[in-house]
Each structure stands twice: as C-alpha cells, then as structure tokens.
Structure 1
Amino acid sequence: MATRGRDHGRGRDRASNTELENNPTNFMTGLENMAAAMQATAAAMQATAAALGNQAGNGNGGDGRKGPMTLATFLKVNPPIFRETTNPTEADNWFQAMEQALQAQQVPENQRVEFATYQLTGEAQHWWQGTRRLLQQDDVAIPWNALQLEFYKKYFPKLVRTAKELELLQLKQGQMSVAEYTNKFEELYRFSKICQGTPGDFEEWKCIKYEGGIRSDILSSVGPMEIRVFSDLVHKSRVAKECLKKAALKRNDGQELHQRKHNQNFAPRGQKFKKKGKQSAAASNGPSCQRCGSHHPNRPCRFGSALCYKCGRPGHMSWNCPQGRT
C-alpha cells in the first residue's frame, strides 16, 4: 500500500512537471512565485535579526544601547573615585575621567548623574547629599550640566581658574627640562578660556604661547620653522635640546683638551725653581745671613733677640714700631 502511494505521488509530480514543460506560461509563473517566496523569507529573517539586535542593545549593554543600564554593569569598568581634596587640578582630572567613562559606556543622559555621584566618598558624598536636595525637583533626573556647575563651583571656583590662566600666561621654562615644561604647560592650558573651543581654533595660539616660554637657545632653533602643530613643536623642541646638549659636550671636550695641552707647555715649577730663585736674588744682593737666611747687609742679625727689626729697641716689633712700618 505504501509503495503504491509513493508511486502514485511520483506519478502526480511527473504529470505536473510534464504539464509545466508543455505549457511555458505556467512554467515561468511557477519560477516567479518561487523567487517571490524566497525574497519574502529572506526579508522576514532580516527583520527578525534586527529585532533581536535591538532587544539586546536595549537590554544588557549592546553597542547600540539606548535603554536603562544597571549600576553594576557600569562599575565593571572601574570608574574613578573622588574624595575630598583641596587641589583643584585633581578635582578637574576626576570630572574629566568620569565624563569620559560615561560616554565610553554610552550611559543614558538621565542616569549619568546617578552613576557619577555614586563614586563620591567621604566629605564629597556629604556635600552631594545636601546639594542634591536643592537640585532635585519632583523626582526628575538632575541634568548633567547642573552637576558640572555645582561641582566646579565647590572644588574648582572661578577665582582659582583665573589664577591658573594667569600662571599659564606667565609660564617660563627656566631650569625645567623640555618634558617638564611641556607637562606643566599642558596642565595649565586647558584652564584657559581661549582653549575652550574646538582644537583647530586655538592650535596656533597654543604653539605661539609655548614658544614664548621656552629658553632662548631652543627658540633660536625652532622659532624660524614657524611650527603651528603643537605635537610637532614639542618634538622639534626636544630634538633641538638634544642637539644643544651634544654641542655643549663637544665644546667642553675641546676646551679640556686645549687646557691639558696648555698645562703641559707651562707646567708649574717645583721647589728647585723657588730655591734657585732665592739663590739668584741672594747672589745679586750679596751673601745671605748664616743665622736667619735673610739678606741684611751692614746691620747685625736680630733673629731671636726680641728686638725690633727696624730700630733695634726692645718692647715692640717692626710692625708697630714708633718710627713707622717697615
């Protein structure tokens, strides 16, 4: 019975194929229907994949996350912790690092304040508890710029920022190395109002200000190049410093060699020369005294007699002789 059924089905298929082959119109219609069905199936599969991707992104941290994110997921990236500090630069560094972490993790705008303030500890946490009560209204999420304004008002007041700007304008390299000067310059320039726009707007000013603070010997090398890309200017300044250092070492080596040759040609004379000089002087003025070794012709030797060498009287010496100094 089963064999007869299969044979009967095969017979139907052969008959159908024969009918399509004998009727070209029906054959083309069948191919078109088949192609349309395949296209519909492919479209349905793409729609299903897109829906699954959006669901994953809106759920637990996909690349296209747009929905809520859990605090535990954000803490996995180890965001920085902020404690009470009197150093405004440290406060600014923390806020910049936190803002970068929130952007990298694509934390939604309405959750950023909550996640960032969770990383406040100690006195900073107490400060935020009081500030939040002033900013919170009707359980509406606090805007990120509101937190930024209050944070900088507390830990980086306008007066300190102005002082940083003045410090940048007066910054000079002095005895600092090129690396130390560059680090100090980059630490201060971000607080300048001129540098708050897009980098292309202040790149030239930044290079001019950097050149204005470096030492004159380095400036004489990099200044004529008129470099207006800051990274290139720093690199050329380091190269110029190394060249100056090598030139100074070479110059010192040449001076030491010249001094060594000079000392060899004019070596200091020893005791024999001094003794010979004394003997020559004594010979020109007559024989020396056998008692004191000095030359005092026509005058008795007073060595060891406690008499003044000038007037010959006792009670004083030649340096305080009443007749005047010898």
Structure 2
Amino acid sequence: MECPENQKVACATFVLQKDAEIWWRDNKTLLNPEGGPMNWERFKEAFLKEYYPKSERLKRQQEFAHLVQGGLTVEKYNREFNKLKRFAPSMVDTEEKMTEKFVLGLEPRIRRMLEAFNPKTYEEALRTAKALEKPKDEKRREEPVIIGQKRPHESGGSDRPPPARRHRSNNRPAPRWDERRPPRHTDRNPRNQDGARGRREEGCTICGRLHGGRCMAGSRACYRCGQEGHIAVNCTAGNAVAQANPPRVVEQTDQPAPPRAQARAYA
C-alpha cells in the first residue's frame, strides 16, 4: 500500500497497542516539539531504539551471516533465509548478492551440483536446489552397509555382543567333575552311625528279630551267658562282661521259633 511521506507516522502509530501505545502517548511531544506532521525518519529511529536495540539487531545479522542449510530441507532453509535477510539488507541489496548467499548456505552436495548450473537469479537457484534434493526415503536406501554386516532390520535380535568368557587366574586348569562336587556330609556322632548301621542290618533268619551274635531262640539257653539251666533274669555269671558289653537280646520265650521258609528257585 502506498502511503504519503507525511502520513507514515500517523499510519504506524494507529496500530500501536499496549506498551507501545503508552510509549507513543508519553513521548509524542518530546519527539515532535515543533508540532505539525512528525518526520518519519525521526520516529523510526526513536521507535527502533526503544523496542529493537542495536544489540538485538547485531545478533540477528550474525544469525543471517552464518545461516546454512544443515539438516533442514531446501524449503525450510528458504523460509529461514527470507525471515533473517531483512536484518542484514546490505548483504542482499542486489540479486547477485542474494543468490550467492543462498547458494553458499546449501549443503555441500547440492551446492556443488548447483554451481555447475550457474543460476543467475535467486528464484532459479531455489527451483534448481529443490529439484536436486533427494527424498528422505531415498537417502535411507543409500546408507552405506559394511560387507558381512547385517542391516538393523535384518539382524532379528539384539545388537549386544556375546558375553566374554571369564579368564581363570594363574592359568589353573578347570577342575574335574568329581572335584566340583560338594563334599558329602558325614555324621561324626558314633551313636548316629551305630543307629544307621543297625537300621541297615537284616532281620535274624531264625527269629526274625534284629540282634547280633548267635540266635538263642528255641535252645533253652540263657540269653546272657549262653549256659542252659536258667534264664537271663536269674543269670549271675558274667555280670562284669555283660555290663561292659551288653549283648543285643530279644525277649525270651518258650515258644519254638517259626519254621524257616525255604527259598524257591524259578527256572
């Protein structure tokens, strides 16, 4: 929209809001003490000094001076280029300067090919750069793969390396199977050992009971001294021997022992 020089300040101040509107109302007389239409250049200088300090302008100029495409697409790089170029007008004040700045910021692969076309205008450089840009899916297909190495989607498992074997200290050989067996627990109590042996003894083949020595069942002899004529209750002989080493006895009975079962043999 064309705006006459003497109406620029009125149009600009009409759209000011909040703090900017307050600033203009408080400083209007100070900026234009003569009265009448205010000079546009004077207003612009005062306004930029208040809301757009020199430090911020220099910061934006440096951003544009070092702007490169990097990981952006050509379209996003172009939008960023147009957003920042107004902060450094001296760098793009001609078509040739603007085209050169745009081309220098492209990624190296596109820039080398684009320089071969030698574009004359900014629009031509932008159009050619978009044509030379590869789609993202095509870039993924061209990722280098080391020979013998599977792609991530072909490995089918974890990429973690196999666990390393543990090294044995002092280079000692591995123990044999019998050396790795835990020691068998043995009972040191002789009573427990005797009891265990007693439980493993087989019954007497004559009386069927568990005892040591000769079986006295059916012989009418004393179970203590082995002499006939009395029983163990009335035995007075060998008390010292009997007390020191008491024999294993079974209850004496006058009943004859059951007949011994005969073993059968099967063909």
Q: TM-score, normalised by structure 2?
A: 0.51
Q: 1:196/1:204 Cα in 2 relative to 1: closer, same or farther (>3 Å)?
A: closer
Of the candidates 155, 160, 164, which is equivalent to residue 56 of structure 2?
160
Matched residue, 1:208:
100
- By how many angstroms is 1:176 displaced? 1.7
Q: List per-residue Cα deviations over 1:258-307 (Å, max 9, x = no partner).
A: 969xx8xxxxxxxxxxxxxxxxxxxxxxxxxxxxxxx98xx672242259
Match of 1:224 among 116, 131, 135: 116
- Say what the alpha-carbon RMSD is for the aligned residues: 3.3
* 3-state SS of 1:242 partner: coil
Is 1:115 the equivalent of 2:11? Answer: yes
What are the residue-to-residue correspondences of 1:1-326 with 2, within 5 Å?
101=1, 103=2, 107-195=3-91, 197=93, 202-242=94-134, 245=136, 247-251=138-142, 301-305=178-182
Against the structure 1 CA distance between its residues 112 and 190, is the aligned structure 2 distance closer, same or farther, given a 3 Å change threshold? closer
From the superposition, tell whether residues 138 and 303 of structure 1 become closer, same or farther in structure 2 (CA, over 3 Å).
closer
- Distance 1:209-1:306 versus aligned 2 partners, 3 A rule: farther
Shift of 1:253: 11
List runs of 5+ in structure 1 lacking aligned partners.
1-100, 264-294, 308-326
Pairwise CA distance, 1:153: 1.6
Distance change in 2, residues 1:162/1:109 (3 Å) = same
Q: Matches of 2:92 and 2:45 in 1, distance apart?
A: 15
CA spacing shift, 1:221–1:120, aligned 2, 3 Å = same
Aligned partners of 2:96 and 2:121 also within 8 Å:
yes
**Letter paired with 1:118:** F
Whose helix fraction is larger, Structure 1's or Structure 2's? Answer: 1
Question: 2:211 aligns to what?
Answer: none
Distance 1:111 1:213, change over 3 A: closer
Unaligned residue ranges in structure 2 (runs of 5+) = 155-173, 185-267
Cα pair distance change 1:112/1:220, threshold 3 Å: closer
* Deviation per residue, 1:66-104 (Å, 9 max, x gap): xxxxxxxxxxxxxxxxxxxxxxxxxxxxxxxxxxx4x2x
Q: Which residue of 1 aligns with 2:158?
A: none
Query: Within 2, Cα distance between the matches of 1:156 and 1:300?
Result: 84
Amino acid at match of 1:151: F
Hey, what's the Cα distance between the residues in 2 that align with 1:145 and 1:189?
A: 21
- Matched residue count: 161
What letter corresponds to residue 130 of structure 2 in structure 1?
R
Q: Tell me how far apart the structure 2 counterparts of residues 196 and 212 of structure 1 sit (CA, whole Å).
A: 13
TM-score with structure 1 setting the length: 0.43
**SS of corresponding position for 1:302:** helix
